[in-house]
Amino acid sequence: MSFNCGIVGLPNIGKSTLFNALTESSAAEAANYPFCTIEPNVGKVPIRDQRLKQIASIAHSGKIIYNQLEVVDIAGLVKGASKGEGLGNKFLSHIREVDAIVHLLRCFTDDDISHVNSKIDPISDAEIVEMELILADIDSIEKRLPQLEKKAKQGDKELKRQLELMQEVLATLKLGKPARSLENIDEDEMKLLQLLTTKPVMYVCNVEDTNIITGNELSKRVEKMAEENKSKFYCISAKLEADIANLDSEEEKQNFLSEFGLQESGLDGVARIMYEVLRLYKSRNHKL
């Protein structure tokens, strides 16, 4: 099974740092200014399943072949992206090409790292990005509706069902809700619409290394939002993950993690959870 996900969020929140740590590379430029990533960076991440390690140990196998997750570092979205602000149209097209979204949110304070809106508010940040995706979907549907309405009048039952679905989705989007919030909808038909807000989302909070296990006030607000949206949630420290990725041996990495009371790196956790989310999502869409 081949899956991919895109790391999205506002500019300057640690996406490129996270991407470099995930892929153990320096392919993505990480800098303290917006839009240091223009073209998306792409890398492969192994899904380090502890069960495979146990099986390999029992079978005395010296080699473990992990499943792979393709990760795309997509440049930061800003308010107005759906109208082309900050090269928004280009960035939105990159999101359209991935299977799922890892929505990275800044949940740390650091006076040396600027915030595009000059205020640390992950809920507001999440709403800005979500609304831009919703607006892009509204625009996409409204451009297709007139032609579909014309064809549906000719009596084709299949086209009439598509029209009814599109109208229902549009009404939901105009309420400020993503298409994925609709229930009791045929997922195969929904997928044909190729909308941004049907993609599964995982919220990842970038916190200080001291808050990885317990979280902080900001990340707990995101966790509540994720529960309400029936989405996955995870805390990482992109800076800490970058430090771990720079260590030479697996033993050094495990010792480093132990100092913070961690069983696995945040990157392994993100990759593992997102892989499961995508596996279930594609299973429901009859693609396995």
Does residue 225 surpass a pLDDT of 50?
yes
Does residue 281 surpass a pLDDT of 90?
no
Q: Given pLDDT bands bounded at 50, 70 and 90, which one contains residue 35? A: very low
Does residue 100 surpass a pLDDT of 80?
yes
Does residue 36 surpass a pLDDT of 50?
no
CATH number at residue 24: 3.40.50.300
In a domain, 96, yes or no: yes
In a domain, 132, yes or no: no
pLDDT value for 186 = 81
DSSP assignments along the chain, one per residue: --EEEEEE-STTSSHHHHHHHHHTS--S---SSTTS--SPEEEEEE---HHHHHHHHHTT-S-----EEEEEEPPPP-TTGGGTGGGHHHHHHHHHTSSEEEEEEE----TTS--TTSS--HHHHHHHHHHHHHHHHHHHHHHHHHHHHHHHTTT-HHHHHHHHHHHHHHHHHHTT--GGG--S--HHHHHHT--GGGS-EEEEEE--GGGTTT--HHHHHHHHHHHHTT-EEEEE-HHHHHHHHT-SSHHHHHHHHHHTT-SS-HHHHHHHHHHHHHHHHHHHTT--
pLDDT value for 221 = 97
pLDDT value for 37 = 42
Q: Given pLDDT bands bounded at 50, 70 and 90, which one contains residue 19? A: confident
Which tokens is 96 given? 């359209």
State which residues form the domain around 235: 3-126+199-284
In a domain, 78, yes or no: yes
Residue 223, judged by CB atoms within 10 A of its CB (0-12, 13-18, 19+), counts as: middle
In a domain, 156, yes or no: no
**Number of neighbouring beta carbons within 10 Å of residue 139:** 14
Q: Given pLDDT bands bounded at 50, 70 and 90, which one contains residue 38? A: very low
Which tokens is 21 given? 């740590």
pLDDT tens digits for range 126-169: 999 899 899 999 999 999 999 999 988 888 888 999 999 999 99
In a domain, 170, yes or no: no
Cα maximum dimension of the chain: 68
pLDDT value for 285 = 59
Instruction: Give the pLDDT mean for 3-29.
Output: 74
pLDDT tens digits for range 46-98: 777 666 666 666 766 767 777 788 888 887 666 665 565 544 466 788 888 89
d(CA 102, CA 10): 12
Does residue 39 surpass a pLDDT of 70?
no
In a domain, 148, yes or no: no
d(CA 116, CA 214): 27
- Residue 148 or residue 264, greater confidence: 148
User: Nearest to residue 4, comparing CAs of 86, 82, 97, 71?
Assistant: 71
Does residue 240 surpass a pLDDT of 70?
yes
Does residue 224 surpass a pLDDT of 80?
yes
In a domain, 147, yes or no: no
Range 74-113 burial, b when 16+ CB lie within 10 A, else e:
bbbbbbebbeeebebeebbebbeebbbbbbbbbbbeeeee
Domain count, the chain: 1
d(CA 134, CA 275): 24
| Least-confidence region, from 124-133, 194-203, 274-283 | 274-283
What pTM was estimated for this model as a whole?
0.82
In a domain, 168, yes or no: no
- Residue 249 or residue 25, greater confidence: 249
- Residue 31 or residue 241, greater confidence: 241
pLDDT value for 86 = 46
